[in-house]
Chain A
């Protein structure tokens, strides 16, 4: 019988924090921007420049640590990680090795076998590097330091996961916690959340871990799941052939669905970590921790409970809405304006998520305003526009965040509620379609649908469908 293997996975998750300014200088962290416009002597490594810690970074790191049940290191320091690379202007990265800000935490995930705790070994703060741009035309490389010094936290898990599903559940959980805290938007596609996967396999029942590899360049949940499956298969194949897994860093190519060796343990650099003498130790008082704990916003579990109690919406809706901070915020803000939770939920659950999927977006990319959705709901509910017009207007809101009142007015999309005008049109439709009228009288209920359609067409879609039905039936 073939051997049974177990996959052992630990994650290193990098999260870009949502501070307005960089970790060690006052430059903006805004995404995009012309190359090297969000830079200063500090984040370009100019001689003589010195780092000054952005306190907000510490607060976010503590908040994430508390929400993931970590112990906060009340005397912590920054260390320099020394290595040469052009995206790293000082040729050292300011990070934390010896005294990371958070340790010994964990989060609970749901698995088919029930609840499971994934341990968090540590969370540390560090700075992001710049970006290399390769100019094929000029055959040279250029460096953009806009990202240099953007604050990151790295969340290092214990090797507690056993499958791609558990990894995704853990990442989902982390993402929700961090989004709810407002510490990051956690967009994998924009790189504000990145995961490196450490994976090894061993025979079921073995007590020792196998040799692990680390995979980088994973920028979607799907890529992570595929990379895990691919690497698991590769390692098992090696073992089955009687070969050894080599401890190395591999780069996942999601198009080719294969990972490539980047560097082996033998080439591993000695980073010569030592405490950064330019920064003073961070002393975190009990009071500071308590202040952050008290200011902690409502997290997902609490929010879910509250939705179920407070709003007249199905439990399923509450689950989906709270599964993303963006959706939950949008739901609450819109409901606050129009007081129709069920309607709001429907728009978000059906039309919004459909458009997200169709446009190959992430829920985090939704950026229309609650005001415009609330207005649209008012328009639809008052009968001022009919449901097909409402869907059309919503697409505009979703894409361009237009003001529906203005848009409906400008485009003349208001429902025609004038009974006289409707009656005249319907009379003409009946006169023009004798066959359908006959079918209807012969008991073909469907025929009325055709007549309604013709009426709507004649009214350019603006007729109130309820009235059309009523008048049609009367006249027939």
Chain B
């Protein structure tokens, strides 16, 4: 059995027990990367040398008892929108094609302090804008379950790398579903934590008020363990929240007796693929059989989430991405006359079409005369959506639904119709708007052999509820990677 088929926690245990060295673990990951990367393109940058060097350092620290974390020595892949000192960080954009950060993102530092070994940086939709990883300037990532299909996005590289065992686990980021949707498409588990739980310092911003970093792994145990390592108050991030309950692994108990689970009727209406619907409802049944109280309810304003999201995220993005101008770092056009021409050409050549679309949309909704009608209205909608969830969480501990309306679409099918692509975010987006935690866990495959994801949503700061429910559900299944399906 390959070391890469182990979960991160299992591999960590073997390393601690001296059954496996860190170097062996890293070499196993590199071997898998070399075997499948040509076909899948999960990574933008693989740092083989750095990883092997780091493996030796970490091994010493484990041997002398300095490093005791369950993740010590376990190889990880980082989404390419988190800054890593001295390691290329591109956001899968041409405009950052040569950008080497001078500092490391706080979430990544937290992982490094737990003894993680970074293998490289994973592919994504350019600046996390997209749901398929096809908007990357460095080629699309393919779904390891079926290479004619997309892995989802924007954390498609991270999720595909976990599914293809090109890393033991990965970090992704989620602004409107970018961890949960590709986790669902790739048959892996991913958590989007409560806004403010993981520091955003060093995460290259897309929609600042919505972005959160989170774990992607083979199972719930891994995800809870990784989240425990990366979460924490950070004084460098003003939106970071001081919490008392970072012990997420304490929720890994196989007991959902009395847990109240609400199933929003609106999540099972038109547009939802029948096979996805059946698999998700079957999962609800499993939880009910294990003692949870499951009932349907009416969640309001579901249809308003997508328009509100695309106004808010695009507005923030239009401002966040203005720093990429060819002056200080990143891509600068070769021939230009004067400052404004340099700005214009560098940005025209450096950004891809989806990013440009959202910058234009965002600039429009913030412009004078439209601000009230679009941006302010979207903010008010966001507040109302949060209220709808507040009402629901007065009755329920967990909200259950699909992570995406379909399984992974075919390559090339989505970009031709961006509106349809945007509508695919319907079940994930409101979670970001309300700042809630959400998890996607595999709950079966469709007739094409593509994975289906179950989404569990918790109230703010109640990650433990969704971890507990997801863990209990997971105990009824065995992990199936794409390999077993081939």
Residues of chain A having any CB pair with chain B under 8 Å = 41, 44-53, 80, 82, 84, 86, 89-92, 143, 270, 272-274, 277-280
Assess the B366–A91 pair: CB atoms within 8 A.
no
Task: Select A82's contact among B102, B208, B237, B319, beta carbons within 8 Å.
Answer: B319
Q: Are B239 and A48 in contact (CB under 8 A)?
A: no
Q: How far is B329's CA from A89's CA once the two chains are assembled, in angstroms?
A: 11
**Are A46's CB and B208's CB within 8 A?**
no
Say which residue of B101, B209, B237, B328 sits within 8 Å of A50 (CB atoms).
B237
For A274, give the chain B residue with the smallest CB separation. B366
- What is the bound-complex CA distance between A206 and B202, given in angstroms? 57
CA distance A272 to B366 in the complex (A): 5
Is B323 touching A47 in the complex (CB atoms < 8 A)? yes
Instruction: For the complex, give the distance between the alpha carbons of A306 and B33 in Å.
Output: 80
Q: Which residue of A lies closest to B235 (CB)?
A: A52
For this complex, 23 residue pairs linking A to B, each with C-beta atoms less than 8 Å apart, are A45-B323, A46-B83, A47-B89, A47-B96, A48-B81, A48-B200, A48-B203, A48-B204, A48-B205, A50-B201, A52-B236, A52-B237, A82-B318, A82-B319, A84-B322, A84-B340, A84-B343, A86-B327, A91-B323, A270-B368, A273-B371, A278-B208, A278-B239
Name which residue of chain B comes closest to A86, CB basis: B327
Nearest 6 pairs between A and B by C-beta?
A91-B322, A272-B366, A277-B209, A277-B208, A48-B202, A47-B204
> Is B363 among interface residues, defined by CB-CB distance under 8 A?
yes
Q: Which residues from chain B sit less than 8 Å from chain A, CB to CB?
A: 81-83, 89, 91, 96, 99, 101-103, 105, 200-205, 207-209, 235-239, 315-316, 318-319, 322-325, 327-329, 339-340, 343, 363, 366-368, 371, 375
The reply to whether A90 and B238 form a contact with Cβ atoms under 8 Å apart is: no
A80 and B323 contacting across the interface, CB-CB below 8 Å: no
Q: Which of A50, A89, A92 contacts B319 (CB 8 A)?
A: A92
Chain A hits for B202, CB < 8 A:
48-49
Whose C-beta in chain A lies nearest to the C-beta of B196? A280
Asked, given contacts A89-B328, A274-B366, whether A51 binds B238 with beta carbons under 8 Å apart, the answer is yes
Contact A272 B99 (CB under 8 A): no
The reply to whether A47 and B83 form a contact with Cβ atoms under 8 Å apart is yes
Q: A270-B368, A274-B366 are in contact. Are A82 and B323 (CB under 8 A)?
A: no
Q: Which residues of B contact A45 (CB under 8 A)?
A: 323, 328
CA distance A400 to B208 in the complex (A): 52
Q: Which of B201, B315, B324 has the most CB of A within 10 A?
A: B201
Q: Is the CB of A90 within 8 A of B323?
A: yes
Q: Is the interface of B mostly helix, strand, loop or mixed?
A: loop
- Tell which of B96, B322, B327 touches A92, judged by Cβ atoms closer than 8 Å: B322
A92 contacts which chain B residues (CB < 8 A)?
Answer: 319, 322
Question: Contact between A86 and B339 (Cβ–Cβ < 8 Å)?
Answer: yes
Q: Give the distance to chain A from B206, nearest Cβ to Cβ, in Å.
A: 11
Contact status of A48 and B101, CB under 8 A, knowing A272-B367, A274-B375, A277-B208: yes
Docked CA distance A270–B367 (Å): 7
Decide yes or no: A82 and B322 within 8 Å by CB, A47-B89, A48-B204, A274-B366 being known contacts: yes
Nearest-CB distance from A266 to chain B (Å)? 14
Residue of A nearest to B200 (CB): A50
Q: Which residues of B contact A279 (CB under 8 A)?
A: 238
A277 — which chain B residues lie within 8 A by C-beta?
207-209, 239, 316
Separation of A91 and B236 alpha carbons in the complex (Å): 21
Residues of chain A within 8 A (CB-CB) of B103 are: 41, 46
A46-B101 CB under 8 A given contacts A272-B319, A274-B375: yes
**Contact (Cβ within 8 A) B239 A280:** yes
A84-B200 contact in complex given A46-B103, A48-B82, A278-B238, C-beta closer than 8 Å: no
Q: Which residues of A contact B237 (CB under 8 A)?
A: 50, 52
Name the distance in Å between A275's Cβ and chain B's nearest Cβ.
8
Most interface-central of A89, A90, A91 (chain B CB within 10 A): A91
Taking a contact as CB atoms under 8 Å apart, the answer to whether A84 and B371 are in contact is no
Contact between B236 and A50 (Cβ–Cβ < 8 Å)?
Answer: yes
Alpha-carbon distance A44/B236, docked complex (angstroms): 15
Residues on B with C-beta less than 8 A from A49 are 201-202
Q: For A47, list chain B residues within 8 Å (CB).
A: 83, 89, 91, 96, 99, 101, 204-205, 323-324, 329
A41 with B102, Cβ < 8 A, contacts A52-B238, A84-B322, A89-B328 known: yes
Which residues of A lie under 8 Å from residue B238 when comparing CB positions?
50-53, 278-280
Provide the bound-state CA to CA distance between A44 and B102, in Å.
Answer: 11
Contact of B83 among A48, A80, A82 (CB under 8 A): A48
Q: Within the assembled complex, what's the spacing in Å between the Cα atoms of A80 and B363?
A: 13
User: Which residue in chain B gives the minimum CB-CB distance to A268?
Assistant: B368
B328 & A80 in contact (Cβ 8 Å cutoff): no
Asked whether, in the complex, the Cβ of B328 is within 8 Å of the Cβ of A44, the reply is yes
Chain B residues, Cβ within 8 Å of A53: 238
Q: Nearest-CB distance from A281 to chain B (Å)? A: 10
Do the beta carbons of B325 and A84 come within 8 Å of each other?
yes
Q: Shortest CB–CB separation between residue A176 and chain B, in angstroms?
A: 34
Among B207, B328, B343, B367, the most chain A Cβ lie within 10 Å of the Cβ of B328
Query: How far is A308 from B148 in the complex, measured between Cα atoms in Å?
Result: 90
